[in-house]
Amino acid sequence: MTRRALTTAVVVVAAAAAVATAAAAPDLNASLPHTPAAVAAALTSTDASVWSAIDAWHAPRAATPPVDLTLFALYDQRLIRKLAANPRLLRSTLPSLAPVLRTRVRELATAHAELVRITPPLRTRTPRVGPAARPDDLLRWYHEAQRRFGVPWRVLAAVNFVESAFGKLRSASAAGAQGPMQFMPGTWHAYGLGGDIHDAHDAILGAANYLRASGGRTNVARALHAYNPSSFYVDAVLRYARELGGDSRVFYELYSWQVYVRSASGSVRLTGPGRH
């Protein structure tokens, strides 16, 4: 085979593989596996597909991820949620995963389970939702806040994710906290730097200002406890932050996840395909 023919063959194979990967995107309600071996296989395959879709998502990135990334990320999120709700299945699945994926699955599932423990189900109202700011804008603002206030960008991103799914949750909390970083109005008045509590850029800077004032430059855990006085909250945020800092693609993966809420009858997905 000539060099040109070989190059053409490689290109054709690569294109075919890309088409196959896109065609393999799961349905919205694709069934989840139940045995540890099957769950591990699904996580491994889906993780590779999510990573591939993220690598193909080039700047400028819109607030709505590509369809294939959305579908793969939703399936991945559903697998993580399943493991978070079933610690025995999580423990049995982890040994079959590659080391890096094993760590990420453990951290994400554990963090989610911790947040579920401190989040009561909705009783009467469903939160308003909307699009987040564009992902690369968010990353730029986290880094701006880190330079200005000395709070690690990955911690700010984790707080933004935990508090409002990067701004997709638009309603005030039951206690009255508002905006993408969920500030109480009085705290915002003191630390919001005169900005708009509902503006993502202003809210990120305000959160960094508050965390720095609470000792975030030297003791992030203590600062996070001031933000929300729960050991589960602090641990969950730090788990997310570790993963966000380990691989830049984790941010785009979490950004592509959907908003779920707990109701008296179970979990309800509020965003993503079929929910507009």
Tens digit of each residue's pLDDT (9 = 90 or more) over 116-158:
999 988 877 889 999 999 999 999 999 999 999 999 999 999 9
Residue count of the chain = 276
The mean pLDDT value of the chain amounts to 91
CA 16 vs CA 5, 69, 71: distances in Å:
16, 18, 20
Rounded to whole angstroms, the Cα distance separating 87 from 188 reads 38
CA 190 vs CA 202, 204, 210: distances in Å:
13, 14, 9
Query: What's the mean pLDDT in 180-189?
Result: 97
Rounded to whole angstroms, the Cα distance separating 175 from 161 reads 19
Which of 11-25 are b and which e, b meaning 16 or more Cβ less than 10 Å from the residue's Cβ?
eeeeeeeeeebbeeb
Kindly report, residue by residue over 21-57, the tens digit of the pLDDT: 444 789 988 999 999 999 999 999 999 999 999 999 9
Rounded to whole angstroms, the Cα distance separating 219 from 145 reads 17
On whether the 135-243+264-269 domain is CATH 1.10.530.10, my answer is yes
- What are the residue boundaries of the structural domains of the chain, listed by start? 9-118, 135-243+264-269
pLDDT attached to residue 266: 85
User: Is the pLDDT confidence value at 12 over 80?
Assistant: no
Rounded to whole angstroms, the Cα distance separating 128 from 204 reads 20
pLDDT attached to residue 276: 59
Cβ burial, residue 184 (10 Å; 0-12/13-18/19+): middle
Strand, helix or coil for residue 119: coil
pLDDT attached to residue 114: 98
pLDDT attached to residue 275: 79
Percentage with pLDDT > 70 across the chain: 91
pLDDT band at residue 2, thresholds of 50, 70 and 90? very low
Rounded to whole angstroms, the Cα distance separating 236 from 113 reads 9
User: Is the pLDDT confidence value at 18 over 50?
Assistant: no
Rounded to whole angstroms, the Cα distance separating 71 from 254 reads 13
